[in-house]
Structure 1
Amino acid sequence: MTLAPSLAAFGRLLSDADLRARLAEEQDIGAAALALGLEQPGWQAQPIRLDQAPPPGWLPAAIDDDRVSWRWFGRRGLHDGFYAHELQTAGFLAINRLFAVETPLSALPPGSRAPDGLVFHMSRCGSTLIGRMLAADRDATVISEAQPIDAAVRTGDPTLLRAVVAAFARPRGIGEARLFLKLDCWNSRALPLFRAAFPDTPWIFSYRAPVEVMVSHARRAGSQMVPSLVPSSILGLAWGNPRDPFYHAAVLASVCEGALDGWASGGGLLIDYSDLPEAVFTRVMPHFGLTLACDVEAAMRAVAGVNAKVPGEAFTPDSEAKRREISPAILAACEGRLATAHARLRQLSEIVVP
């Protein structure tokens, strides 16, 4: 498929809402190509560079320097625990296999929609469960650890952050009533940026006993523990060894301190993992100013009974199993800075936010 026919075909897709609706869920690339007047679709999506954002239905997939790549979702809801998984699934749609849409950053829509709630977390402490419970409300959209949000955070620009969120919030005919951001754990260090961008949006920070989180990272370290993926400087740390439990502890302490430093700015609520999932109903939803309909609460409780990371499995408490794996190195690493941050989080958790 040459570029000229692909541009003409994409133009038809943009100008014909009925055609977009007909091809919205099409996975057969041949059938989609035929409908668009393309005789021989190639195996690689053709680059489509626009000066304006594509219509609602396309969501930001990634931001790289001054370019935004977009992925077609149509009216698909966002209900997975991670936006990266949503992108993989959407990648099977024929529209995304035919066209790779890019725009300059300047094409992002102006920010006007503030999220209804922000979910920060220590990592490995129930935030995925919280995100999935929020997403059980089919009138809600939950953006979970999305690269475009991270890219905006790294710039430190509240205007860009608002624009990226606005791009996710454009009306698509699904999940338009409420919008939540579940953020990467290191984003807690950027709480002042989020408060500047969305001063009236309430936020929560979930945390867990440090030894249990440390065991989880000893089993399989998260990206925040790898300086080549999440630079140590973002966390206010010197370069560290991604296999060193003391570096893991320093990362977790830095993440927790981000929430503690942001506490004074207001709007926050601290949630201990041991209080989940009931705290979502008794504390998180009231904090976000939301009252649940009976059917939504039932859907959220159903989600709470499922393994948040492996939705096909029933949830099984794992705190005891993790405590059996605590090593002397983990115990030593948790002392000092991390223990102090955790103790302060527990103390502030007892404060009732008006």
Structure 2
Amino acid sequence: MVAPSAFIFHVSRCGSTLVSQLLGLSEKNITLSEVPLIDELLRASRRQPDPSETEAALKAGISLLGRRRFGQEKHLFIKLDSWHVFFAGTLRRLYPGVPFVLLYRSPDEVVFSHQKRRGMQAVPGLLEPELFGMSHAESTSYDGDRYIAKVLEYYYSQFLLIAQNDDRAILLDYRQGGIDIVRRLARFAGMALDEAEIAEMAVRSRFHAKYPEQGFAEEKKESCVSAYLQPAQAMYARLEQLRARLSR
């Protein structure tokens, strides 16, 4: 069994899929991406008066998922669903020394991506709104774009809270680029990368993360922050200021 090397939290549409794929290129690594079992157990823990039994099942499930396949694996990277940031306290309690990676992106770019193809967290009613600190009435009062903008506010606020209070957490922004993000993540998690691995990652990063048969080209959109995005944009700016301060 390989113990977790890092949990990857993200705000969605911020390069987390590519990062997990790049890490998975190495035979030394096991990478798990948005595993339904982990999601089910984390969300079930909210419904239990005493979540200890569910948390024990979560640890057992992660141990099972982290078993060695070929014998040479040394690292286990777990990319969570975006809403799992609200369970960071549970995961920190269960895994006190494991690094938390906080991967994010500017809200206008995240919303633009969801406008093309919406994830579960971007559609009111698909996930229980209480996960995001909203009542059912509040969640149904927003259209799709305003809803994901509100969700992003909650994500960014949680990232700020974690980064300010947890010295085993690192902030990483999409604009740093996939290879640089993996380098920083690996260094923070205590994993060495050799030049052959970096070269293989560079080749893979030229292709789309979700459609690997397609070459990747960043779709440009003229930056225009709508009024409903301004609170999320302000939170994003605070994250960037904190990241700059912590990286000195």
The alignment's TM-score, normalised by the length of structure 2, stands at 0.87
1:61-80 pair list within 5 angstroms: none
| Map of 1:139 onto structure 2 | 28
Q: Offset of 1:163 from its aligned partner?
A: 1.2
Amino acid in the other structure paired with 2:213: G
Question: Aligned partners of 2:113, 2:200: CA distance in 1, in Å?
Answer: 28
Q: Deviations over 1:199-255 (max 9, x none)?
A: 111111111111111111122221012343321101111232474322111111112
Q: 1:169 to 1:282 in 2, by over 3 A?
A: closer
Cα shift at 1:160? 2.5
Which amino acid is the alignment partner of residue 202 of structure 2?
Answer: R
- 1:251 and 1:121 map into 2 onto residues whose CA distance is 12
Match of residue 238, structure 1, among 129, 135, 138? 135
**Contact persistence 2:7–2:99 (CA under 8 A):** yes
Matched, 1:271 2:172: yes
> Which residue of 1 is the match for residue 235 of structure 2?
341
Question: What CA distance in whole angstroms lies between the structure 2 residues aligned with 1:238 and 1:323?
Answer: 33
| Secondary structure in 2 matching 1:120 | strand
What is the aligned partner in structure 1 of residue 51 from structure 2? Answer: none
Give the Cα–Cα distance (whole angstroms) in 1 for the partners of residues 78 and 203 of structure 2. Answer: 21
Partner residue of 2:150? Answer: 250
What TM-score, normalized to structure 1?
0.62
User: In 2, distance between residues paired with 1:222 and 1:133?
Assistant: 22
Cα distance in 1 for residues equivalent to 2:78 and 2:72: 13
Query: How far apart are residue 291 of structure 1 and its match?
Result: 1.0
Within 5 A, what are the aligned runs for 1:185-264? 185-239=82-136, 240-241=139-140, 243-263=143-163, 264=165
Q: Which has the higher contact order (CA 8 A, sep 6+)?
A: 2
Q: Is the 8 A contact 2:115 2:145 kept in 1?
A: yes
CA–CA distance in structure 2, aligned partners of residues 147 and 204 of structure 1? 20
State the partner residue of 1:305. Answer: 206
**CA 1:304–1:292 in 2, change beyond 3 Å: closer, same or farther?**
same
Secondary structure of 1:204's counterpart equals strand
Aligned to 1:116, the other structure's residue is in SS state strand
**What is the root-mean-square deviation in Å for CA atoms of aligned residues?**
2.1
| Alignment-derived partner of residue 194 in structure 2 | 293
Residue 163 of structure 1: aligned partner:
60
Number of residue-to-residue matches in the alignment: 236
Q: Is the 8 A contact 1:137 1:299 kept in 2?
A: no
2:80 aligned partner, one-letter code: L
Give SS of 2:31's match. strand
- Aligned-pair distance for 1:279? 2.0
- Shift of the alpha carbon at 1:150? 0.5
Query: Matched residues in 2 for 1:159 and 1:344: separation?
Result: 36
Q: Which amino acid aligns with 2:69?
A: R
Unaligned runs of at least 5 residues, structure 1: 1-111
Q: Which of 94, 114, 118 is the matching residue for 2:7?
A: 118
Moved over 6 A (4+): none
Distance 1:233 1:273 in 2: 27
1:148 aligns with 2:41: no
Superposed CA offset, 1:58-106 (max 9, x none) = xxxxxxxxxxxxxxxxxxxxxxxxxxxxxxxxxxxxxxxxxxxxxxxxx
The alignment partner of 1:350 has SS state of helix
Whether the 8 Å contact between 2:20 and 2:33 is mirrored in structure 1 is: yes
SS at match of 1:118: strand
Q: What CA distance in whole angstroms lies between the structure 1 residues aligned with 2:72 and 2:18?
A: 18
Query: Retained in 2: the 8 A contact 1:256–1:341?
Result: yes
